[in-house]
Chains A and B, each alone.
Chain A
């Protein structure tokens, strides 16, 4: 059985099912509230959700019980008191490598750490205190820290991405950070500005290849990139058959370090699936070539938008399952690594995030 945890504009939905048998909604929680992201820590079974009430601000909630009822608010999810910034939103939660450790990324470009399974959190002071912070530029979604890439077996190594403050890397568990933006030369900047390390690098999503952790894949704001040196430098792999190098989410097959999946959109000025066709593009050669995977996906008059946290996977290799949700409320799934697709849900509220387990 596969569990899909779907964050939407109007609540959290939990779906259960299998690719061959279909999915059904088993729970709706936080009715009416925007659930930006939700996930389950596979080590403990704890379900965590980030909710940004338009009235009461961003919060993290967690439950070890019935997700329809028993949620507790996590402590410490706030910026330092008395400053001139307030926490705007939590974009992502990721389990760390150390026992009990989780990370959460949010706006304005902040990383929180929990060492008790998500019940309480503290701000990562190293990133918060970056001297360049005052010059960081927000992307269209705010100054969001949206990607958190752990390093299998090495809890001190972490890479995070901030739109549009680029990649940040640490090898000492977040005490110190350095940039990882070499090669990220956006088309939206004049050439002279590329030398300015504070000029905006609008990273949309980053994933690490678990079997070869120094390899990472990135969907950029105009560009798909690969790094083979743990995020220090990047090579454009956005040619080779993609209809567009603009998009938001990206996923990898954990069994294959040469693999990546993207869901291209037309361009930043037209953020919908190209030609009215919904297609996922797959590479199995590190980005040298891309092939469309659209069997079973809408192929006519389908102008969908898939957000950066709305693409997920379960399993690996031949058993790889892929799932993504769109802002029209559809959730699509594949039980055969993208070869064929089915509808896992239709007519949900606009989908913000999908996590498959």
Chain B
């Protein structure tokens, strides 16, 4: 659960997600896990609700999240200063 003491991590988004985030790519957000960071991002930019995390609270299937370069998931722990990248997967036809 995010508290005032939660670590601040840097979340980076691109493409349409950046546009939904008022054109800002990098966001310093508080959270203990990747999901908490993504929820914090949604609170800061409500237009992003439903774009990365679905109704079940899961990261959408074709979106990848990396924490300091390592593939992560909703429950991946984050620490102060961590860099979190949110990227569309290489899929499609």
- Decide whether A and B assemble into one complex: yes
Given the known inter-chain contacts A73-B47, A78-B50, please indicate yes or no for A55 contacting B55, CB distance below 8 A: no
Neighbouring B residues of A80 by C-beta, 8 Å: 55
- Name the residue of chain A whose CB is nearest to the CB of B16: A56
* Contact partner, A78, options B16, B17, B55, B58, Cβ 8 Å: B55
* Contact partner, A54, options B17, B47, B55, B62, Cβ 8 Å: B62
With the chains together, A54 CA to B47 CA distance in Å? 18
Interface flag for A190 (CB, 8 Å): no
Question: Is B58 a contact partner of A54 (Cβ separation < 8 A)?
Answer: no
Neighbouring B residues of A59 by C-beta, 8 Å: 50
Question: Is B60 a contact partner of A82 (Cβ separation < 8 A)?
Answer: no
Question: Is A55 a contact partner of B88 (Cβ separation < 8 A)?
Answer: yes
Question: Is B16 a contact partner of A82 (Cβ separation < 8 A)?
Answer: no
With the chains together, A56 CA to B88 CA distance in Å? 8
In the assembled complex, the CB of A89 is this many whole angstroms from the nearest CB of chain B, namely: 13
Residues of B in contact with A, size category? 10 to 19
Q: Which residue, A57, A59, A78, has most C-beta atoms of chain B within 10 A? A: A57
Give A86-102 as 1s and 0s: 1 = Cβ < 8 Å from B's Cβ atoms.
Answer: 11000000000000000
Question: Is B47 a contact partner of A56 (Cβ separation < 8 A)?
Answer: no
Neighbouring A residues of B57 by C-beta, 8 Å: 81-82
In the assembled complex, the CB of B51 is this many whole angstroms from the nearest CB of chain A, namely: 5
Interface flag for B91 (CB, 8 Å): yes
Give B44-59 as 1s and 0s: 1 = Cβ < 8 Å from A's Cβ atoms.
Answer: 0001001110111110
Interface flag for A131 (CB, 8 Å): no
With the chains together, A84 CA to B52 CA distance in Å? 17
* Contact partner, B60, options A55, A73, A79, A84, Cβ 8 Å: A55
Question: Is A57 a contact partner of B51 (Cβ separation < 8 A)?
Answer: yes
In the assembled complex, the CB of B10 is this many whole angstroms from the nearest CB of chain A, namely: 22
Interface flag for B92 (CB, 8 Å): yes
- Name the residue of chain A whose CB is nearest to the CB of B64: A55
Known pairs A56-B16, A78-B55; list 7 more (Cβ under 8 Å).
A54-B62, A55-B60, A56-B17, A56-B63, A57-B51, A59-B50, A87-B55
